[in-house]
């Protein structure tokens, strides 16, 4: 791996996480058990909901959401192309068709409700609202749209754990919310995720599907419960580990403090980059206190080569990233669904110019200043 002076992401783990893992190892039970249940209760409390179901990844959360809603062959799900591929993949794996919609633009990388509305057909069953970078999608418009057409609203809140907004806590506004606790996320369990749902029956279905639809779990049997079990559906093994959930409990306690670090970094970035002509900072019109700030994206002006800028940053030891290549342009989606370049011009234009700068829960302001200086030094002279 490159020895970056300023990495795009750095883990926020320490002795507290090490102690939590050691306690699980001493307890001698590593799959879903009491630590998982405790984490679920704490996370549900942070979201101000009745219950949360911990799972093995954000992708598992999305897959279980689609399965629990009964979406399958012949159905369509409208979702943004400017997102990680997992949301579209789980729709395809359930036999349904992902229908890609535009984002609003460089100022707001959330899905455009007007474009979503134009893509709804009699086969549409659900809409996915991705809270890009930890910033709320247009939930009032998307909620109204879903209700008007009788659709499920799935919130992909992978970037926004326990994030309160004027619309409500992200992930809890729609019918079902999905979270990711991957290694680089704001709340990191290495691998992990969670699902919440407004309908208790849907939530119960997610919990059963998480573990092969078994009527009695392994931990119950291990602790002297019923030795037999039935299977009342077709489920999967999407269980988290006790180790992951132990990490999650510690990370959840530190989430608010680390969010303040992210907010201060974003405030500094906005100030230092504001003078670069043509550079657009998405969500800069929103108060810095809003959002989870998982990513710090910028959108470059037309004519400024992104690779040249990344080369300049690399020379300064600064890592950068691209979030994300549009899903509809990937080979699998072009071949199966006939998506093609030019079909989503706003998304494609923004994606070609988007760049993510370093941001994490332990970043120091002096490093933010160095990144901004490196961007300024490599900016095209004519601009």
In this structure, the number of other CB atoms found within 10 A of the CB of residue 113 comes to 22
How many angstroms separate the CA atoms of 191 and 203, rounded? 21
Secondary structure (3-state) at 146 = helix
Q: Is 322 helix (H, G, I), strand (E, B) or coil?
A: coil
C-alpha span between 133 and 348 (Å, rounded): 18
Catalytic residue flag (residue 185)? yes
Catalytic hit among 5, 104, 164, 185: 185
Asked whether the beta carbons of 194 and 185 are under 8 A apart, the reply is no
Taking the C-alpha atoms of residue 383 and residue 369, their distance in angstroms, rounded to an integer, is: 20
Kindly state the tokens that stand for 292.
């989870």
Measured from the Cβ of residue 12, the count of other Cβ atoms closer than 10 Å reads 20
Cβ atoms of 145 and 127 within 8 Å: the answer is yes
Structure token digits, residue 94: 């359930």
Catalytic amino acids?
Answer: 185
């Amino acid at each position: 791996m490159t020895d970056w002076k300023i990495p795009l992401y750095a883990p926020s783990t320490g002795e507290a996480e090490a102690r939590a893992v050691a306690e699980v190892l001493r307890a001698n039970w590593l799959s879903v058990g009491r630590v998982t249940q405790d984490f679920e209760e704490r996370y549900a409390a942070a979201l101000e909901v009745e219950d949360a179901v911990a799972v093995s990844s954000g992708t598992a959360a999305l897959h279980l959401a689609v399965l629990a809603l009964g979406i399958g062959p012949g159905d369509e799900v409208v979702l943004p192309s400017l997102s990680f591929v997992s949301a579209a993949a789980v729709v395809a794996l359930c036999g349904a068709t992902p229908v890609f919609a535009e984002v609003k633009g460089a100022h707001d990388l959330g899905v455009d409700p007007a474009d979503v509305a134009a893509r709804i057909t009699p086969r549409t069953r659900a809409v996915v609202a991705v809270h890009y970078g930890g910033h709320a999608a247009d939930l009032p418009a998307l909620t109204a749209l879903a209700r008007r057409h009788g659709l499920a609203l799935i919130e992909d809140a992978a970037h926004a754990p326990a994030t309160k907004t004027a619309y409500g806590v992200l992930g809890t506004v729609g019918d079902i919310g999905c979270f990711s606790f991957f290694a680089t996320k704001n709340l990191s369990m290495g691998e992990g995720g969670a699902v919440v749902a407004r309908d208790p029956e849907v939530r119960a279905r997610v919990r059963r599907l998480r573990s092969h639809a078994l009527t009695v779990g392994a931990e119950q049997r291990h602790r002297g419960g019923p030795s037999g079990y039935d299977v009342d559906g077709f489920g999967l093994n999407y269980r988290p580990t006790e180790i992951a959930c132990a990490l999650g409990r510690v990370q959840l306690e530190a989430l608010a403090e680390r969010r303040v670090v992210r907010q201060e970094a974003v405030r500094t970035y906005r100030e230092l980059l504001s003078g670069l002509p043509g550079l657009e900072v998405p969500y800069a019109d929103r108060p810095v206190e809003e959002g989870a700030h998982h990513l710090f994206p910028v959108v470059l002006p037309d004519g400024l080569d992104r690779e040249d800028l990344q080369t300049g940053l690399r020379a300064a030891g600064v890592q950068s990233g691209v979030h994300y290549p549009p899903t509809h342009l990937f080979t699998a989606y072009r071949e199966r669904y006939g998506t093609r370049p030019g079909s989503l011009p706003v998304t494609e234009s923004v994606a070609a110019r988007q760049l993510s700068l370093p941001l994490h829960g332990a970043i120091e302001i002096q490093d933010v200043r160095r990144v901004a200086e490196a961007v300024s030094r490599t900016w095209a002279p004519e601009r």
